[in-house]
Amino acid sequence: MSHMMPYEQPFTQQHSAMSHAIPYENLKRLNHPFEEQFKQQLAHVLEKGWYILGEEVTHFEQEFADYHGSAYAVGVANGLDALILSLQCCGFEKGSEVIVPSNTYIATILSIIHCGLVPVLAEPSIRTYNIDPAAIAPLITPKTVAIMVVHLYGQCCNMGPVMDIATQHGLKVIEDCAQAHGARYKQQLAGTFGDFGAFSFYPTKNLGALGDAGAIICKSKTDYLKLRQLRNYGSEKKYHNGVIGYNSRLDELQAAFLRIKLPALNSINEHKRKLADIYAAGLNDQFMKPVVDPDYFHVYHIYNVLHPKRDELKKYLADHHIATDIHYPVAPHDQPALKGYLRHYHYPIATQIHQQTLSLPCSVIHTEAEIHQVVAVMNQFPG
CATH of the domain at 279: 3.90.1150.10
Residue 30 maps to a domain: no
Are 325 and 357 members of one domain? yes
Residues 137-163 pLDDT 10s: 999 999 999 999 999 999 999 999 999
Q: Which residues span the domain enclosing 358?
A: 5-17+264-378
Task: With H, G, I as helix, E, B as strand and everything else as coil, classify residue 283.
Answer: coil
Question: Is 8's pLDDT higher than 60?
Answer: no
The neighbouring-strand residues paired with 357 are 306
- For range 287-293, the mean pLDDT: 96
Pairing of strands 196-200, 172-176: parallel
In angstroms, the CA 264 to CA 323 distance is 26
Residue 31 maps to a domain: no
The domain boundary, picked from 247, 262, 277, lies at 262
Task: Report pLDDT for 383.
Answer: 81
Residues 83-92 pLDDT 10s: 999 999 999 9
Q: 203: domain CATH number? A: 3.40.640.10
Phi and psi of 238, rounded to 5°? -50, 130
Of the chain, the percentage scoring pLDDT greater than 90 comes to 94
Of 112, 154, 166, the C-alpha closest to 129 is 154
**Residue 289 appears among annotated catalytic residues:** no
Are 180 and 300 members of one domain? no
Question: Is 19's pLDDT higher than 60?
Answer: no
Torsion angle, alpha carbons of 103, 108, 110, 111, to 10: -160
**Total domains present in the chain:** 2
Q: DSSP assignment, residue 75?
A: E
Spell out where the chain has E strands. Answer: 72-76, 97-101, 118-122, 144-150, 172-176, 184-185, 188-189, 196-200, 214-218, 235-237, 240-241, 296-297, 303-306, 357-360
Looking at the chain, the number of H-run helices and the number of E-run strands are 14, 14
Q: What's the order of all strands across the beta sheet hosting 296-297?
A: 188-189, 184-185, 296-297
Residue 22 maps to a domain: no
Band (pLDDT 50/70/90 cuts) for residue 23 is very high
Q: DSSP assignment, residue 125?
A: P
In angstroms, the CA 373 to CA 353 distance is 25
Of the chain, the percentage scoring pLDDT greater than 70 comes to 95
Average pLDDT, rounded, for the chain: 94
Band (pLDDT 50/70/90 cuts) for residue 304 is very high
Task: With H, G, I as helix, E, B as strand and everything else as coil, classify residue 299.
Answer: coil
- For range 167-191, the mean pLDDT: 98
The neighbouring-strand residues paired with 196 are 174, 218
Question: Is 10's pLDDT higher than 70?
Answer: no
Band (pLDDT 50/70/90 cuts) for residue 20 is low
Q: Positive or negative, the Cα torsion across 289, 294, 296, 298?
A: positive
Catalytic residue among 28, 94, 143, 205: 205
